[in-house]
Amino acid sequence: MNVLFATTSADSLGSGHPTGLWLDEFTIPYTALSKAGVTISVASPKGGPVPIDPKSIPSEAKRAKWFGALVALLSTRKLSEMTADGFDAIFVPGGHGPMIDLPHDANLQRLVAELDANGKLVAAVCHGAAALLNVRKANGHLFLEGRRLTGFTATEERLIGLKAVVPFMLEDALKSRGANFSSSLVPFFPYVVRDGNLITGQNPASATRIAMELLAALQGATPARLSPQPPVTPAVMTDGLTAP
């Protein structure tokens, strides 16, 4: 099993607001899939080290736990160098960085379209879904048209105080592309949607769940309409409330 993780290279939202990859959304799936024997390649628009959102810098304990994932972020390949050959899935983690560079990256659009055309898996969590906004199929139709998915909601964006900072509201943009958007009834709860070969997670609290759903799909498990939501602990809510 081979999965391509596509990350952002953007480190600023403008107006002095730093951004980048939201680390948990990369490290949790990377660690879970690696432990299950999945081979992971990491690529970004510029290649090289991936900028990390400073609000997601890990504790020393997490650094040790995520050592392999952190090393992988130090030297990524360029998306322009990648082909879809040999990959069973592509996964796009979030952070606000993906809103800046990934919606307009032709190489990423090419990879997603080719993998989708071959029946491979396409997955994204939180703002990573921004990477799918402009992907088109071979027939010219938008990849998102009529697809069921989720992502960071407009309500969550307002609650963390970044409505006036982000270049667009992700939920609104996804809906404008014809997507059938749904989300947890309560902001910052874990929520994952699987629609055929498309798997999406709503927010940072969904990182573990989307890793499980992606692994199950790689192993050939039957798709579920919506993965069940576990009780949300105060720790999970804290992670969500400090999300990008």
Q: Find out whether 116 and 139 touch, Cβ atoms under 8 Å.
A: no
**202-219 as b/e: b if 16+ CB within 10 A:** bbbbbbbbbbbbbbbbbe
Write down the pTM of the prediction.
0.91
pLDDT digits (tens, 9 = 90+) for 167-184: 999 999 999 999 999 999
Determine the pLDDT at residue 221: 60
Specify which residues 89 forms β-bridges with: 3, 121
Which residues, in sequence order, are CB contacts of 157 under 8 Å at separation 6+? 163, 166, 169, 170, 171
Q: Report the C-alpha dihedral over residues 224, 205, 173, 161, rounded to 10 degrees.
A: 160
How many residues appear in the chain? 244
Q: Rounded to whole angstroms, what are the CA distances from 137 to 1, 15, 48, 142, 157? A: 24, 35, 29, 6, 29
Which CATH architecture group holds 2-241? 3-Layer(aba) Sandwich (3.40)
Distance, in Å, from the CA atom of 203 to the CA atom of 232, rounded to the nearest integer, reads 13
Order the strands of the 89-92 sheet from edge to edge: 77-78, 39-44, 2-6, 89-92, 121-125, 198-201, 192-195
pLDDT at residue number 103 = 98
Q: Report phi then psi at 10, rounded to 5.
A: -85, 135
CB 37 within 8 A of CB 1: yes
Q: Which residues pair with 18 in a beta bridge?
A: 12
pLDDT of residue 16: 78
Q: For residue 198, give Cα distances in angstroms to 82, 105, 119, 134.
A: 20, 19, 10, 15
Which residues are known to be catalytic? 126-127, 157
List of the chain residues with pLDDT < 50: 223-244
Is-contact 7 73, C-beta < 8 A? yes
Question: Rounded CA gap, 54 and 13, in Å?
Answer: 13
**What confidence tens digit (pLDDT) does each residue in 144-164 have?**
999 999 999 999 999 999 999
